[in-house]
Amino acid sequence: MQQLPPSQYIFPNPIEADPEGQGFICIGADLSPSTLFEAYTHGLFPWFNEDEPICWWSPEPRCIIEPHAYKPSKSLIRNMKKHDYRITINHAFEDVIRSCSLPRSYANETWISEDIISGYCALFQAGYAYSVEVWQQQDNLVGGLYGVSIGKGCFGESMFSTETDVSKMAFYTLMLIGQENQLPWIDCQLVNDHLLSLGASTLSRQAYLKSLQDVIIAPSINWKSYQERVFSSKRIAVFAKLDG
């Protein structure tokens, strides 16, 4: 994990900048690792279309999921036992984020631009981002997710799948990592029905920002210990823990 230089940008307090709770905080800056680090430690994340300037958000309320309270569905467990995918951590970060950037069946456009990809790949190289990959056979990437990690703050960004339930398998793996490291929550940013179906809930922005200041100074997750192992979806489903 690299020591990042101080950011040249100072982000405003989200509550002072947005007292009405609309979520939009400010515009501008860049997507360098130092800027992204500064933003996430102050409760902000970038979200904008490719032809727009960089926009920074801090929604009210904040969507989070508590790893210790997560319960996988019975259908997910059945699929994990049936197909026995390989699951890895931090083996193919750029491949995952590029897969997440592809158009979906419900939307032709994506907010994950080349600038976003470049910025988060640099953040990953500095040690402040992670990916979970799901593989079919030896080298066929069929699903995964990526996010940001600072201290015990874990911030989910996006996921993708090309086979049934494989993004949920990556999500379940992330929940188990959260349980092992006693993470109080994983940030899901914006509320939507899909996240709520997975067990997400909400925090007020004020409560989220207060908790954030505690988690970012806690000892970091040892991602390398997970990176060195390969997990089986079948074994995860059977034993409800990471055993690889």
Rounded to an integer, what distance in angstroms lies between the CA atom of residue 146 and that of residue 123?
A: 12
Share of residues in the chain with pLDDT > 70 (%): 97
Q: Is 168 inside any structural domain? A: yes
Q: State pLDDT tens for residues 117-150.
A: 999 999 999 999 999 999 998 899 999 999 999 9
Q: Is 72 inside any structural domain? A: yes
Q: Is 161 inside any structural domain? A: yes
CATH number, domain at 75? 3.40.630.70
86 and 101 within one domain: yes
Q: Which domain holds residue 75?
A: 63-239
Q: Is 165 inside any structural domain? A: yes
Number of domains in the chain: 2
Q: Is 47 inside any structural domain? A: yes
CB atoms within 10 A of CB 160: 22
Q: List C-alpha distances in Å: 73 to 126, 158, 168, 219, 237.
A: 35, 20, 10, 31, 11
The structure's pTM equals 0.95
**Is residue 120 a contact partner of residue 167, using CB atoms and an 8 Å limit?**
no
Rounded to an integer, what distance in angstroms lies between the CA atom of residue 136 and that of residue 196?
A: 28
Is the per-residue pLDDT at 28 higher than 60? yes
Q: Is 5 inside any structural domain? A: no
Query: Which pLDDT score, from 0 to 100, does residue 138 have?
Result: 81
Q: Is 219 inside any structural domain? A: yes
